[in-house]
Structure 1
């Protein structure tokens, strides 16, 4: 678990569409300034009070995901992928509001993996391996993915998206490593992604946000 850490640069990732459209997506920003003061402000705006606590909003997982994973206290599989619901989410070092905030995420729809449950709190892990606790109502069952995050920073980090689930089909878009997209469906080998109004198919092993061989629609 990473605590009291700071990233000095914002991460910006770009989608290069085949039609020539260029669009940048903001992913993650660090805590800045005085850590404890900023964490308190973020807590008030990012987490619900006891009167605002509601259902998690997590959708039921696919049968394939349920049968291949252990079930947590909620009856849902552990681990499982979800996404961040609001644009500001505090990540704490423990399952409760008395624990310090270690990270502030500022990207709605960011995919994360739930790896543990405790009461109404979920321990999550992001694509970089950072772990922490978040209140369940700040998570959504909407499935999203990051395109090849392990390729970020490399010279040749653009991935083709195809018109159908085949390498021989037409390329409809090109996505730079790190682009966030909604997953429409996965076949176990391919996933259809949608972002900026464009849909395309990508090899399942080239995204973070779906397990190998996982099938859902």
Structure 2
């Protein structure tokens, strides 16, 4: 005896439907409720303050002015003692400039580049001719040295308003810092952080004048 099966009808039948009725909630007994209250006794809801979004620091935002650092000052004084008046070693690229006397501590250079020295004075060279800027920079360095300043800022600009947009002052500054009176005063220099002028400014670390605290 043969049995015929209707395959077409069987193929159209899907899996049995699940019972979609909502699950019935089981009421907690008195013992369960007491246990739950004890377990949650130390839990406190989050306040609005703790839910606030804290933005990441902006590279263009200047942080709090760094306080004088005894370690930095000690390292700078040691550099004063061990370094002579030899010409600075200069690294120059399209964007960044840095230079230091031979034997300058790499750790000290990294901290100068990060803007960790408190800035004690600055000069802005915008609008000056090359000759005027050279004279101003020399006078500024000498005056800062006589005053006992250690870290100062020179704002030279990016050359956007100069002919062919060439940063003439930026290109000349390293040579001014390694010649004339500045040569015996400047220990190191580096392109500033964005909040201090970025590629349009230089940090200068000066020797400590003898006889000053």
Q: TM-score, normalised by structure 2?
A: 0.25
Query: Greater share of helix residues, 1 or 2?
Result: 2
Query: Greater share of strand residues, 1 or 2?
Result: 1
Q: TM-score, normalised by structure 1?
A: 0.25
* Larger-gyration structure (1/2): 2
